[in-house]
């Protein structure tokens, strides 16, 4: 028993050490820094308790609430869009059609395009003067948009650019769909049911564990949006796309207020933890497992 435990610890030690050194350690350090006025170019560091958090929630920092509002708006738009579109695409790619492997490859390829290259493509596509999308809209005699350069459309435009990379979510949905036993669909056929009955009574209930996982991951990644703000908009126009993580980065690395940035990071951690907890608690009523009923 002890020998088995020793071998187990030996083989898992790289993962354990990696977690302690690169995850738990930095988390504890950031928690300590959030209670101080640490700055890169400041000679001394003083313990200030919860002053950074008071500064956040008291309204002294207007950009804190503005970045929260922009991020929540982004999350509210992106999460349903990613889940619904990914699920619909996965249903289509799960059909037994000719060239299915090619279509799956085409859908997945954009998700592995480097973020900078993808951003440059979208900056050209969404250019209000020379962009391909406005050119096509003009050719079709449809109204054009300023996309990333207008306050009212910047966040929906950023959401649009992120839908380019849903390939990973689609693949996970495909894995869930491929695990549904074919006998269930055959039973619906025997009973005279159509595609809607199959979707409602078989596909959706059986894919809820996959839906649960994708929802959690999409919520987390949406709250952590950074590349799009950093590359596409720089937080503009007028801070309308000042997403939370971008503001956190700007506070820590541009303004060198590491203590305050650490407090921002811990607030984000609590927000993500809260929404993840809500989804986990609600899953008891809508996630189903084969042979085990609800979770």
pLDDT of residue 282 exceeding 90, the answer is yes
Read off the pLDDT band of 292 (50, 70, 90).
low
Best CA proximity match to 74, nearest among 153, 164, 169: 153
pLDDT score, position 290: 66
Mean of the pLDDT values across residues 52-66? Answer: 92
Q: Which two tokens stand for residue 177?
A: 């769909």
Dihedral, CA atoms, 231, 235, 240, 243, nearest 10 degrees? Answer: 90
- Model pTM? 0.92
Helices 62-93 and 167-178, axial angle in degrees (round to 10): 50
pLDDT of residue 98 exceeding 90, the answer is no
pLDDT score, position 82: 97
Q: Tens digit of pLDDT for each residue in 226-250?
A: 998 899 999 989 999 999 999 999 9
CA angle centred on 169, ends 165 and 172, rounded to 5°: 145
Read off the pLDDT band of 294 (50, 70, 90).
low
Q: Among all chains, which residue has been given the structure tokens 């309204």?
A: 59
């Amino acid at each position: 028993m002890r020998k088995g435990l020793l071998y187990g610890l030996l083989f898992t030690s790289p993962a354990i050490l990696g977690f302690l050194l690169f995850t738990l350690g930095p988390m504890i350090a950031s928690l300590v820094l959030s209670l101080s006025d640490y700055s890169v170019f400041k000679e001394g560091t003083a313990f200030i308790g919860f002053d950074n958090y008071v500064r956040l929630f008291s309204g002294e920092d207007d950009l804190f609430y503005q970045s929260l509002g922009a991020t929540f708006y982004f999350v509210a738009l992106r999460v349903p869009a990613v889940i619904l579109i990914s699920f619909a695409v996965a249903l289509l790619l799960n059909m037994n059609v000719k060239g299915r492997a090619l279509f799956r490859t085409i859908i997945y390829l954009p998700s592995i395009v480097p973020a900078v290259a993808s951003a440059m493509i979208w900056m050209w596509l969404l250019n209000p003067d020379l962009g391909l999308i406005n050119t096509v809209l003009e050719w079709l005699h449809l109204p054009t948009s300023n996309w990333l350069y207008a306050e009212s459309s910047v966040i929906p435009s950023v959401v649009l650019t992120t839908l380019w990379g849903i390939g990973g979510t689609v693949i996970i949905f495909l894995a869930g769909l491929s695990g549904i036993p074919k006998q269930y669909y055959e039973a619906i056929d025997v009973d005279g049911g159509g595609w809607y009955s199959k979707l409602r009574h078989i596909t959706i209930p059986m894919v809820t564990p996959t839906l649960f996982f994708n929802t959690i991951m999409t919520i987390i990644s949406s709250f952590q949006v950074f590349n799009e703000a950093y590359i596409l908009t720089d937080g503009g126009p007028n801070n309308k796309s000042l997403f939370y993580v971008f503001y956190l980065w700007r506070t820590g690395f541009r303004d060198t207020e590491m203590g305050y940035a650490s407090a921002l990071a811990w607030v984000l951690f609590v927000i993500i933890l809260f929404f993840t907890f809500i989804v986990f608690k609600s899953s008891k009523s809508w996630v189903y497992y084969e042979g085990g009923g609800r979770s």
